[in-house]
């Protein structure tokens, strides 16, 4: 009888263990579906272009599902992790862990330390055009975080998440924050052992200061990929001010590239001025962005971009938006809409040739959960 009582008691303790674990840790699931119907047109076609100059397509706009994990481990310290899985409802691709995916520790005293994959440096300009149901292709990133490099454009900081990252984020010290990140190879998988050139690395420093209605910040990027001398250097200054439903911002970027042979390949400045205004369920977003001529590649290598989006909030989680955007390239420039060059949101032959002017009309539906 005593043995039976002990067995029943032990079973009760074991059964209670998952409840204790759940009380100390939490899992949150969030994300959104965001898909658009868009029309892409190529204005001022280059004589070398062959085939159609327009197409209509259904396109994913970075849909995702995010799993966030937090466990209290004592004395204010928390274990944290995130899986940011991207998928494409338009063609069924995914899911993958292509988003911000990491694991680490967090403390109210010293901030958070994480290891994994993070958005670094690019996309810091205060451009809200894609925040709700505006098209991702219309983001000022298209010019601001790309550099004309020969016949194509090249992304600064990859134009996406940086892999192999060790990242420290400070607490909010009366409005001041600081991100310090180091990547053992920003270009992809480690290749130091197979390289006869050098060991690669990348640094990002991003201090910012602000309150509820304004912010200013600076970002420094320095990348030396494993086994290659194709270095990158980027400096970005950004800021915004909000007054009631109106938000106005400004951003400046200077980016430099070296060729794989270690020779200066590109150096240019870019500016952006984003605006947004929200009233009730209505939201207006716009930006004007321009990239100046490249100081290494010479004249007629600049471009400008204008984008305008209207978004209506159907509910707190669902919105629908209309977006128009166009890029005007100089005769020796071929800037394009964000992720339209082999990215997950692109299609064949979407990349413009020298001097061509891409144009976008888009209707996007977004549902967040």
Q: What pLDDT, on the 0 to 100 scale, is given for residue 24? A: 63
Confidence band of 228 (pLDDT split at 50, 70, 90)? confident
Whole-number Å distance between alpha carbons of 73 and 158: 35
Q: What pLDDT, on the 0 to 100 scale, is given for residue 151? A: 87
Q: What is the largest CA-CA distance in the chain?
A: 94
Residues 6+ away with beta carbon under 8 Å from 280: none
Confidence band of 349 (pLDDT split at 50, 70, 90)? low
Whole-number Å distance between alpha carbons of 296 and 363: 39
Whole-number Å distance between alpha carbons of 127 and 139: 7
- pTM for this predicted structure: 0.89
Whole-number Å distance between alpha carbons of 297 and 291: 13
pLDDT in tens, 118-165: 999 999 999 999 999 999 999 999 999 999 998 889 999 999 999 999
Q: What pLDDT, on the 0 to 100 scale, is given for residue 94? A: 82
State yes or no: pLDDT of 314 exceeds 50.
yes
Tell me the CB-side half-sphere exposure of residue 20, using CA atoms within 13 A: 7
Nearest to 291 by CA among 301, 277, 281: 301
Confidence band of 346 (pLDDT split at 50, 70, 90)? low
Question: What are the DSSP E strand ranges found in the chain?
Answer: 25-43, 54-60, 64-74, 77-88, 93-96, 101-107, 111-119, 146-149, 152-155, 161-169, 176-183, 201-211, 214-224, 232-243, 246-258, 264-279, 282-291, 303-313, 318-329, 357-368
Confidence band of 3 (pLDDT split at 50, 70, 90)? very low
Q: What pLDDT, on the 0 to 100 scale, is given for residue 345? A: 62
Residue 137: exposure state from Cβ atoms within 10 A (0-12, 13-18, ≥19) = buried
Q: What pLDDT, on the 0 to 100 scale, is given for residue 348? A: 63
Whole-number Å distance between alpha carbons of 255 and 161: 18
């Amino acid at each position: 009888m005593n043995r039976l009582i002990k067995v029943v008691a032990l079973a009760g303790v074991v059964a209670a263990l998952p409840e204790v674990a759940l009380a100390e840790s939490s899992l949150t699931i969030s994300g959104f579906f965001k898909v658009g119907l868009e029309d892409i047109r190529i204005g001022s076609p280059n004589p070398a272009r062959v085939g159609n100059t327009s197409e209509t397509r259904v396109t994913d706009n970075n849909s995702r599902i995010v799993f966030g994990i937090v466990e209290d481990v004592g004395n204010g310290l928390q274990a944290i992790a995130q899986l940011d899985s991207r998928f494409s409802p338009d063609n069924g691709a995914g899911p993958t862990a292509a988003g911000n995916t990491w694991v680490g520790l967090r403390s109210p005293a010293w901030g958070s330390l994480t290891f994994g994959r993070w958005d670094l440096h690019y996309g810091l300009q205060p451009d809200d055009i894609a925040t709700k149901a505006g098209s991702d292709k219309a983001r000022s990133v298209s010019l601001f975080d790309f550099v004309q490099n020969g016949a194509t454009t090249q992304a600064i900081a990859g134009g996406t998440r940086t892999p192999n990252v060790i990242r420290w984020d400070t607490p909010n010290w009366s409005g001041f924050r600081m991100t310090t990140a180091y990547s053992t190879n920003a270009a992809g998988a480690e290749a130091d052992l197979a390289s006869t050139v050098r060991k690669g690395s990348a640094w990002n420093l991003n201090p910012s200061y602000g309150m509820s209605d304004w912010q200013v910040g600076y970002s420094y990027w320095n990348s030396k990929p494993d086994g290659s001398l194709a270095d990158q250097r980027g400096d970005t200054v950004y800021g915004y001010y909000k007054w009631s439903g109106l938000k106005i911002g400004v951003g400046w970027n200077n980016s430099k590239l070296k060729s794989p042979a270690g020779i200066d390949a590109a150096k240019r400045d870019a500016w952006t001025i984003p605006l947004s205004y929200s009233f009730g369920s209505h939201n207006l977003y716009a930006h004007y962005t321009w990239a100046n001529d490249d100081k290494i590649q010479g004249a007629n290598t600049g471009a400008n971009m204008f984008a305008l989006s209207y978004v209506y909030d159907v509910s707190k989680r669902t919105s629908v938006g209309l977006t128009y955007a166009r890029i005007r390239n100089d005769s020796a420039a071929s800037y394009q809409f964000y992720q339209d060059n082999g990215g997950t949101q692109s299609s064949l032959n979407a990349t413009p040739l020298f001097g061509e002017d891409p144009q976008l009309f888009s209707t996007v539906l977004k549902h967040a959960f």
